[in-house]
Amino acid sequence: MTARLTLVCHASTSAVRASAFPADEPIEPGGREQAIALRKSLPKADQCFTSPELRCRQTADALGLVAEEQPVLRECDYGSWRGRGYDEVAASEPEAVAAWLRDPLAARHGGETLQSLLDRVGVWLAAQNTQQRRTLVVTHPSIIRAAIVHAIEAQPHSFWRIDVAPLSAARLSGDGRRWNLGALAALTA
């Protein structure tokens, strides 16, 4: 049997709308309504997981899922940039932002490096690939990007070229040795 993994991005938040580095903000009321409308469109799953952040737990709840929190699926640690707008940070720390976007080992913000995030998600994916189950996960764009980079064995800088919208889903299938990307698309009712 094949391992099937569907990674669902949490519903929209104020940070998403403001292009800000997320804190632990709740989902917006409209995002909750959209998630509720998508309940019947979710694939069947043998197990459901969620990131521990509020926005993911609220999205899982709105989707009608009973999901186990997985700390490894937490948002990237943005350090001192957490809760601040991207434009604000880029204006006040242009060299730090440029280094962060260019170098997967840079962490001038005092948080997690891109390489650390990719490694964390890669280890989790390797464990999931041995499960041969259908797994549904509610998590963050950063985790979904990292999973895609890992699945297609892309270079770390490819991370920045993957757009993940609220309530979109990436579908991966694994054969115990490797993952394949099936799709990245918006969920539809």
Residue with tokens 């709308």: 17
The whole-number pLDDT of residue 1 equals: 65
**Quick one: which of 50, 51, 106, 52 has its CA closest to 79?**
106
User: How confident is the model over 62-77, as pLDDT tens digits?
Assistant: 999 999 999 999 999 9
| Partner residues linked to 139 by β-bridges | 9
**1 vs 14, 22, 73, 81, 152, CA distance in Å?**
40, 37, 24, 43, 20
User: How confident is the model over 102-142, as pLDDT tens digits?
Assistant: 999 999 999 999 999 999 999 999 999 988 899 999 999 99
**Quick one: which of 135, 156, 145 has its CA closest to 184?**
145
The whole-number pLDDT of residue 189 equals: 76
Q: What mean pLDDT comes out for the span 155-181?
A: 95
What structural domains and CATH numbers belong to the chain? 3-186 (3.40.50.1240)
User: How confident is the model over 9-42, as pLDDT tens digits?
Assistant: 999 999 999 999 999 999 999 999 999 999 999 9
Q: Helix (H) and strand (E) counts for the chain?
A: 7, 6
